[in-house]
Structure 1
């Protein structure tokens, strides 16, 4: 089981590497375990010691593929088990063919054969989680920008910039160049600013980017080229507008514009007058049409009324005929009332019963009254029909007159419209000519402006950054603090004499007794590099700044080499002095004492000068000619 995450304590947050391992199909896993404090790997050459340093750097985002080893054939993955401040025990896996990382929670052995908990991108990115953002997040380092140049070009700080202070291979260990170099492509300004951020926690986000003189010249040359291209395009555009004009300066576009403006104003007045006439005619026509439509509606209503009245007159006639018949029947009945009774034969004067003739007489009177009434209504209806017919005839005549007037108006409107259309066509033709002229004037103004801009750019002189206005890297205060930390380390290592370490502000390197790095032998340069990397960590600890707390050194004790066997041959005078002083004893004792607050991994060809105590992990690689123990990394 993975150990629980560490409870907060007073020790600074740091990484602890536990295991470096390699696996492959049908291959037995090989690994190298590390103590939380000091681990020493020593032994013969060509045993894979330097390969292990490269592998650790590779697992911290190294972009270069690992060198090919005959012993490594068949292995395809590299693993690194670590304890981190926030995530606790984790294991990273990466293909030996480069690419991204797989992250497993827990130990290396638990990660084998199962799916990763998540993946991390190879390169630093803010769009998705990468190895760099993950590891920097464990240290509490967020988005940070480092100036690459004095003019303010910036790059993002990544775990790779920390890695150059964590893993030091043999070649850069003894190099004559300053140990602040991040990689071969990094500029001196960038190297210094990376060191500044590590030692102060202050990045360069606030720096305003200013182009240097070369960039200014390039930018100005590019602008001139663009202006010339735009100028040629504008001249060609104006020439295309007037293909028959050889000398474009003779166009006198302003005078043409004035004449066209005056002509256009005259046509505008004619066009307005024509529109007014057309509007008046249209208004008269609408009035005539409205009156005709109103009369037509009234005429239709009159015809409908006449039809209804005629239908009513027919009904009256029918009623009159019926009433006449009733009246004549009643008269006949009354005439029969003066004759002998048909029932009893009595004479009229002797008849006692009138047999209902009184009712007949009353009905006759009612019928006569109704007949007179209906005849009177029928006569009134006839007069109304006659009046309506006369009115309808008058309206039809007025409707016909209005239709003729409307036709006349239509002709007048069509004539006015044709005149307006012709005026509009002339106006639009003149307006189009004016628009073309104005476009040409616009192009002409553009040409003039471009020529002025071209002349200005031709006079341009780049302005460089004032000397001393921008300072890269750390100042003397932090530099002296770093030098003091390195000097303290040298004194604890019992460096011969009274070592005096100073900070060189120009190179950001440290000087031993006032001498430049290249004035020292390889072994002394290795010690200076080792002390520099540890000193950087110590300043970070003192200032409570993030640092992984790892220092991996390949051949820091080069002064103790065998001149007969080593590729570096004879010792220089200062190396011989170091070798004779027994510094290697104090070197290892110092690292053992520091085992509680940092992790040190030392790669050496020579064995330590004394048996290492418990708690220190020691790996001995016998080499290809060895007979006992582990021959090498694989």
Structure 2
């Protein structure tokens, strides 16, 4: 969530003393006499936003050596401390007046982050994805920084009355970046997709490198040529001749192969029959071997059962006398003899079954033996026929083999020719690219109009600008057009920079305010703070002000109560942001108590009044 920045208080810290300015309300009006530190206040805010240095513009500043600024960043309170001078920041959580180690947040540097220290931009943008901004029309880029952004929402007195675009900074080297920061705020689109244009010496170096690489490629490809002295046309002729020879030889080979086709076909049939017969013979041999084993088992079982029957018969002979071995009487032997009788009968029956199976097996074995004999005779005949066919084919093969060898040689030569044709085409292509590279000149930078903001965005901005002019009772019809070339506005047909100082100042201020409202209405990022030094300079005293007498358009505006309408309008949009106004003129009486006021009385100070900033 990005709620933006709100400055709550700035504190100048010295040895055993301090001086502070509160910014408690959405609109804070700081005014007073000249040389009371108003400009220093603006510069101090900028200093706490990462400006490299802070001038000692008033004598009193010499006794202060540090500045603290209490802020709310995205709704969270922080206090920043920075020595005067220094390039480092100490940041603490919450709003504090002195450093409390228990609330220490982090150290930051003005620029050039290290492994241990981030930049002050990293602090202020901790909740903002860093957009990529164009640095120039060569497509070179930079990241948005708090310094670039500060030029959009802070305007010192010199800048606010100047003729340059309100978003252009004082450093001409930064003007392009300033314009692209404005474009980003206006559209929400960064420049990360813009292609970088190589320029100057870097381009010449890349060009030389590209030429060297292409020359190496051409030389490398040329080494792979089989016929380096022949042109593509010559190679095409050779390929055509080889194609003709190849076609003729293929016809001859087809004729020779046709003569062999019958032999080859018959060989296939004979080979298949031989393979089938051999497989059948192997199967019969395996079965005969198994049947032999089974036949021997049958004979063994018959011998065992015959012995068993004979033993039973002998045991039954003379069973009416007393048993010679055990002494049993005939009446006790009868049961045992009955069992022996049953055993003898069972043995006879089993012998009959086995003999039946044995005879069946013998018949089957005899049949297999006959098949085996027939197969052996058939296999012998097939082998003789296959030998005969091989001899026939071999007598016809030498001529076909020679033709195949010739075919291989022609195909090999044709492949080499075809390869050379392809390589020559690649060589010609790279030679063309080499010539194009040598003819290349340094590319021109992009045209500025390629990066103008979209018309829809500038139209919305101009509409808001016109609304503000009407709200503050600015004289005229309030017709606003956007000058994309100068990144400025044209009011009722008059460019902003052609007006007098005071009118330029108020129109500069409206520019900054309109941008903030545009961003808020379109849910685009804006820090939400605007600091304006002397936006109402039109209402200066011509005799006392360093800006001298009023010009014609300034005199007309000075007769109106635009200053009161201007401040009242800022109060009405206080929910959108924070507005800090630094002025030499007095506060319009009708707004006292409505907006925050801080007065520096200068030499005319009386008891209970504040003389100046420090």
Aligned to 1:536: 515
CA shift digits 1:348-402 (9 cap, x unpaired): xxxxxxxxxxxxxxxxxxxxxxxxxxxxxxxxxxxxxxxxxxxxxxxxxxxxxxx
* Distance 1:115-1:75 versus aligned 2 partners, 3 A rule: farther
Equivalent residue number for residue 160 of structure 1: 147
TM-score, normalised by the number of residues in structure 1: 0.58
Alignment of 1:23 with 2:13, yes or no, is: yes
TM-score normalised over the length of structure 2: 0.60
Which of 201, 223, 234 is residue 188 of structure 2 equivalent to?
201
Paired residues for 1:201-600 under 5 Å: 201-211=188-198, 215-216=199-200, 219-220=203-204, 459-464=439-444, 471-600=450-579
Deviations 1:39-75 (A, max 9, x none): 1111100000111011001101112333343101121
Q: Deviations over 1:562-593 (max 9, x none)?
A: 11111111111111111111111111211222
Structure 1, residues 178-229: CA drift from partner, whole Å, max 9, x if none? 0121441445432221111112221111111112xxx24663279669999x
Q: 1:67 to 1:475 in 2, by over 3 A?
A: farther
108-117 or 495-504, which moves further after superposition? 108-117
Alpha-carbon distance, 1:622 to partner:
0.8
Shift of 1:505: 1.6
Q: 1:631 aligned to 2:601?
A: no
Contact kept, 8 Å, 2:186 with 2:519, in 1: the verdict is yes
Aligned counterpart in structure 2 of residue 32 of structure 1, from 21, 25, 45: 21
Q: 1:142 aligns with which of 129, 137, 141?
A: 129
Per-residue CA deviation, residues 258-316 of structure 1 (Å, 9 max, x unaligned), is: xxxxxxxxxxxxxxxxxxxxxxxxxxxxxxxxxxxxxxxxxxxxxxxxxxxxxxxxxxx
Secondary structure of the 1:108 match is: coil
- 593 and 222 in structure 1: CA distance in 2 versus 1, 3 angstrom threshold: closer
- 1:454 Cα deviation from its structure 2 partner: 11
CA positional deviation for 1:624: 3.3
Q: In structure 1, what is the Cα distance between the partners aligned to 2:569 and 2:19?
A: 30
Contact 1:19-1:108 within 8 A present in 2 as well: no
Q: Does 1:104 align with 2:88?
A: no
Q: In the alignment, is the contact (CA less than 8 A) between 1:189 and 1:472 conserved in 2?
A: no
Counterpart-to-counterpart distance in 1, 2:125 and 2:112: 10
Q: Supply the distance in 2 between the matched residues of 1:132 and 1:124 (Cα, whole angstroms).
A: 11
Q: 1:130 to 1:467 in 2, by over 3 A?
A: closer
Give the distance between the partners of 1:467 and 1:22, measured in 2 at CA. Answer: 47
Aligned to 2:160: 173
Shift of 1:484: 1.2
Partner of 2:105: 117
Q: Gaps spanning 5+ residues in structure 2: where?
A: 213-431
Per the alignment, in what secondary structure is the counterpart of residue 63 of structure 2?
A: coil
Query: Given the superposition, is the C-alpha separation of residues 480 and 117 from structure 1 closer, same or farther in structure 2, using an over 3 Å criterion?
Result: same
Distance 1:29 1:114, change over 3 A: farther
| Alignment of 1:192 onto 2:176 | no
The answer to whether the Cα contact below 8 Å between 1:124 and 1:131 also exists between their aligned partners in 2 is no
- Residue 447 of structure 1: aligned partner: none
**Cα distance change on mapping 1:467 and 1:175 into 2, 3 Å:** closer
Change in CA separation of 1:461 and 1:528 when aligned onto 2, cut-off 3 Å = same
Cα 1:162/1:187, change in 2 over 3 Å: closer
- Separation (CA, whole Å) in 1 of partners of 2:108 and 2:205: 43
How far is 1:498 from its partner?
Answer: 2.0
Residues 100, 119 of structure 1: 8 Å contact kept = yes
| 1:611-626 mapped onto 2 (5 Å cutoff) | 611-614=590-593, 616-626=595-605
* SS of residue paired to 2:125: helix
**Native 8 Å contact 2:465 2:480 kept in 1:** yes
Pairwise CA distance, 1:141: 1.8
User: 1 CA distance for matches of 2:162 and 2:6?
Assistant: 28
CA contact under 8 A between 2:461 and 2:515: conserved in structure 1?
Answer: yes
Q: In the alignment, is the contact (CA less than 8 A) between 1:91 and 1:108 conserved in 2?
A: yes
Partner SS for 1:73: helix
Pair 1:90-2:117 in alignment: no
How many residues align? The count is 396
Q: Are the aligned partners of 1:35 and 1:599 in contact in 2 as well (CA < 8 Å)?
A: no
Q: Distance in 1 between matches of 2:435 and 2:135?
A: 34
- CA, structure 1 residues 77+224, in 2 after alignment: closer, same or farther (shift >3 Å)? same
Shift of residue 546, structure 1, vs aligned partner: 1.8
Contact 2:203–2:442 under 8 Å retained in 1? no
Q: Is contact 2:93–2:103 with CA below 8 Å preserved after alignment? A: no
Q: Over alpha carbons, which structure has the higher Rg?
A: 1
Shift of 1:143: 2.6
Q: Counterparts of 1:205 and 1:44 in 2: how far apart (Å)?
A: 47
CA-CA distance at 1:493 after TM superposition: 0.4
- Structure 1 unaligned regions, length at least 5: 1-7, 229-451
Compared with structure 1, are the counterparts of its residues 167 and 547 closer, same or farther at alpha carbon in structure 2 (3 Å cutoff)? same
1:387-443 deviation digits (Å, cap 9, x = unpaired): xxxxxxxxxxxxxxxxxxxxxxxxxxxxxxxxxxxxxxxxxxxxxxxxxxxxxxxxx
Distance in 2, Cα, partners of 1:455 & 1:472: 33
Distance 1:42 1:568, change over 3 A: same
The 3-state SS of whatever aligns with 1:502 is: strand
| Offset of residue 467 of structure 1 | 5.5
**For each residue in 1:146-195, what CA deviation from the matched residue of structure 2 results, as whole angstroms up to 9, or x when unmatched?**
11122210011111122112211000001100012144144543222111
Counterpart Cα distance in 2 of 1:163 and 1:590: 23
Q: 1:17 to 1:187 in 2, by over 3 A?
A: closer
Give distance in 2, aligned partners of 1:632 and 1:600.
21
* d(CA) in 2 for partners of 1:227, 1:35: 66
Report SS of the residue matched to 1:624: helix
* SS of residue in 1 equivalent to 2:179: helix
